[in-house]
Amino acid sequence: MKTLEELMAIRNKMQGQVNLRAEDENAVRVVVGMATCGIAAGARPVLKAFSDAVQEKNLKNVMVVQSGCAGLCQYEPIVEINQPGKEKVTYVKMTAEKAAEVIELHLIGGEVVSKYTINSVMK
């Protein structure tokens, strides 16, 4: 390795990994329901889609965590997005494909994907 470019290439490659270990109170928390009901309904690929995207797209400030059963088992897989200072958004019946949309539009674009939220489904 002889140049700064090479050094920075390794640094950037590793950032996604080591950033995962920083704790940030202002982080956006993506909470995926991973109780038995969630897993049975297919929460695992959803979780994977979110956590991969965070590292691949190097989304700083986004933290993907798991939680237990929220009591709305028929709507699983459920994903909650908590942004400090904003109202919690709850997405239901998620899939990896829907997750990709949420990542692009909501996490990156800042716009709630209303068609997948619990409010639109329960109406």
Q: Which residues bind other proteins (CB under 8 A)?
A: 1-4, 7, 10-11, 13-18, 20-21, 23, 25, 32, 34-36, 39, 47-48, 50-52, 55-56, 63-68
Of 104, 75, 106, 76, nearest in space to 89 by CA: 106
Minimum distance between the CB of residue 120 and other proteins, rounded to whole angstroms? 26
- Only one residue has tokens 């994907």, namely 113
Rounded least distance, CB 37 to other proteins, Å: 11
Cβ of 81: how many Cβ atoms within 10 Å? 22
Cβ closest to other proteins, residue 51 vs residue 113: 51
Contacts of 94 (CB under 8 A, 6+ apart): 43, 46, 77, 78, 79, 102, 116
Q: How far is the CB of 78 from other proteins (least distance, A)?
A: 12
Question: Which C-beta is closer to other proteins: that of 54 or that of 113?
Answer: 54
Q: Which residues are CB-contacts of 106 (< 8 A; sequence separation ≥ 6)?
A: 81, 89, 112, 113
Residue-by-residue DSSP string for 96-113: HHHHHHHIIIIIIT----
Q: Which is nearer to other proteins, 37 or 89 (CB)?
A: 37
Residue 67 or 117: the one with the smaller Cβ distance to other proteins is 67
Residue 116 beta carbon to other proteins: minimum distance, rounded to whole angstroms:
21
